[in-house]
């Protein structure tokens, strides 16, 4: 069991307030990704969990056992936390073979020779690198070294596996392969994994939950598709998604159980079943209509519910085509699967399912109408 709870964690480096009142629960068996741009606090949070950093305020428990209590100056060392940490830089011993690198920590635990050999073989088989057992790190590629680093971590059967941007040094193809391996490890071992990355594709494809950071604060904690479909504010919406989400300025007003929204693309009516808990202002107010590019469908012929727009640019990319569209003063992007060819300034017709639209209060930047 390895349920982790952080409460009111603050971390300062001098006058720099890098973590601001972090409250986060990581349930047993979660694959929790800490996601955000550089300098947002995600790696510092991982280092607090691992015991490499001491916070100035707050508490942390693992399975109800207090690990950090800043008020009482209590701070359990990393060795008491039942975890293993894999760094971006691999941190393999260069003078040891793969076998010796993995065995090093197991010998410290004073396991039997038979148990050590079994764990080494199991870990190498899991990472599909059995043939490299007697090689040295400098004889391995970056991807192979990363697999060894992860094999070394899982061989000790940790309650918690902490991964700090482990794939950032790999090329695109290897990153795809390693994402698959990490998913498989998580399922087979059932270990709680905490994973730090700035790469939203890694976060969305592997995680059971994502904690999105901005400027030292937790912005949103949600399952991947909930975070993608319903980012909590405009900054989160702008960060999540590639290509980025479309923002259209609009006006909104609420009348009873309905909200009426107008923007240059279309006028919409939404029911309160899709409203969030945010307060909706009285009277007319400025809003932002947010639409994912893949939710804008293009037809070349007019029809019921189809909105006439102009093609501004056309970008075929093999498996998909990005089409920049224009209506009035508004520009927005559509993502079409497969190859599609449109002429510049061609008139085409788009449809958008209203239930897939997000609406944000322009003043507070908060989500007021959810997509589903």
What is the structure's pLDDT at 143? 84
What is the structure's pLDDT at 295? 97
> Whose structure tokens read 């990581």?
26
What is the structure's pLDDT at 135? 95
pLDDT tens digits for 155-197? 888 888 999 988 887 788 888 888 888 898 898 888 899 999 9
CA–CA gap between residue 284 and residue 72 (Å, rounded): 51
Per-residue pLDDT band for 332 (boundaries 50, 70, 90) equals: very high
Render 83-135 in DSSP notation, one character per residue: EEEE-TT----TTS-HHHHHHHHHHHTT--HHHHHHHHHHHHHHTT-GGGTT-
- Please, what's the b/e burial string for 310-340 (b: 16 or more CB within 10 A of its CB; e: otherwise)? ebbebeeeeebbbbbbebeebebbbbbeeeb
What is the structure's pLDDT at 1? 63
What is the structure's pLDDT at 174? 82
What is the structure's pLDDT at 2? 81
Mean pLDDT of 134-151: 90
Mean pLDDT of 102-121: 92
Strand order in the sheet with 246-255: 267-271, 258-263, 246-255, 285-291, 358-361, 367-369
Per-residue pLDDT band for 259 (boundaries 50, 70, 90) equals: very high
What is the structure's pLDDT at 26? 97
Mean pLDDT of 326-334: 95
CA dihedral 164, 168, 169, 171 (to 10 degrees): 150
> Whose structure tokens read 């507070």?
364
Mean pLDDT over the full length of the chain:
93
Q: Look at residue 87 and tell me whether its pLDDT is greater than 80.
A: no
What is the structure's pLDDT at 286? 98
pLDDT tens digits for 21-77? 999 999 999 999 999 999 999 999 999 999 999 999 999 999 999 999 999 999 999
What is the structure's pLDDT at 158? 83
How many angstroms from the chain centroid is the CA of residue 102?
29
Which domains does the chain carry? 4-232 (3.40.50.300), 239-369 (2.40.50.140)
Residue 333 contacts residue 243 (beta carbons within 8 Å): yes
Q: Look at residue 88 and tell me whether its pLDDT is greater than 90.
A: no
Helices first, then strands: H and E counts in the chain: 8, 22
How many angstroms from the chain centroid is the CA of residue 275?
24
Q: Look at residue 350 and tell me whether its pLDDT is greater than 70.
A: yes
State if pTM tops 0.85. yes
pLDDT tens digits for 271-284? 999 999 999 999 99
CA–CA gap between residue 227 and residue 232 (Å, rounded): 8
Query: Which percentage of the chain shows pLDDT scores above 90?
Result: 79
For the ranges 160-169, 216-225, 258-267, 294-303, the lowest mean pLDDT is seen at 160-169
Cα→Cα distances 245→68, 279, 291, 293, 315, Å: 40, 24, 6, 6, 17
CA–CA gap between residue 192 and residue 161 (Å, rounded): 6
CA–CA gap between residue 208 and residue 360 (Å, rounded): 26
Residue 19, beta-bridge partner list:
11
Per-residue pLDDT band for 9 (boundaries 50, 70, 90) equals: very high
CA–CA gap between residue 105 and residue 115 (Å, rounded): 13
Highest mean pLDDT pick, 83-92, 104-113, 157-166, 225-234:
225-234
Q: Look at residue 353 and tell me whether its pLDDT is greater than 90.
A: yes
């Amino acid at each position: 069991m390895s349920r982790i709870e952080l409460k009111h964690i603050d971390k300062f480096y001098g006058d720099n307030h890098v973590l601001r009142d972090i409250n986060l629960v990581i349930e047993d068996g979660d694959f929790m990704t800490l996601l955000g741009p550089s300098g947002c606090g995600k790696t510092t949070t991982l280092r607090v969990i691992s015991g490499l950093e001491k916070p100035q305020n707050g508490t942390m428990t693992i399975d109800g056992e207090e690990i950090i209590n800043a008020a009482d100056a209590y701070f359990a060392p990393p060795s008491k936390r039942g975890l293993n940490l894999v760094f971006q830089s691999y941190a393999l011993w260069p003078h040891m073979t793969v076998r010796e690198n993995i065995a090093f920590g197991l010998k410290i635990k004073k396991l039997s020779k038979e148990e050590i050999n079994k764990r080494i073989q199991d870990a190498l088989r899991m990472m599909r690198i059995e043939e490299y057992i007697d090689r040295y790190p400098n004889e391995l590629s970056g991807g192979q070294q990363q697999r060894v680093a992860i094999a070394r971590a899982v061989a000790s059967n940790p309650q918690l596996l902490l991964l700090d941007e482990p794939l950032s040094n790999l090329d695109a193809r290897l990153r795809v392969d390693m994402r698959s391996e990490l998913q498989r490890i998580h399922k087979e071992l059932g270990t709680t994994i905490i994973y730090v990355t700035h790469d939203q594709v890694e976060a969305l494809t592997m995680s059971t939950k994502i904690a999105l950071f901005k400027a030292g604060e937790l912005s949103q904690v949600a399952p991947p598709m909930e975070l993608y479909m319903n980012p909590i504010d405009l900054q989160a919406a702008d960060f999540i998604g590639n290509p980025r989400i479309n923002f259209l300025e609009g006006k909104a007003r609420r009348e009873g159980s309905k909200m009426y929204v107008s923007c240059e693309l279309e006028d919409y009516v939404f029911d309160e079943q899709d409203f969030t808990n945010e307060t909706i202002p009285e009277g007319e107010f400025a809003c932002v209509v947010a639409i994912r590019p893949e939710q804008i469908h293009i037809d070349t012929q007019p029809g019921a519910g189809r909105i006439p727009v102009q093609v501004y640019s056309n970008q075929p990319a093999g498996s998909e085509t990005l089409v920049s569209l224009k209506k009035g003063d508004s520009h927005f992007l559509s993502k079409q699967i497969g190859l599609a060819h449109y002429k510049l300034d061609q008139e085409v017709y788009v449809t958008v399912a209203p239930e897939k639209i997000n609406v944000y209060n322009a003043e507070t930047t908060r989500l007021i109408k959810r997509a589903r």
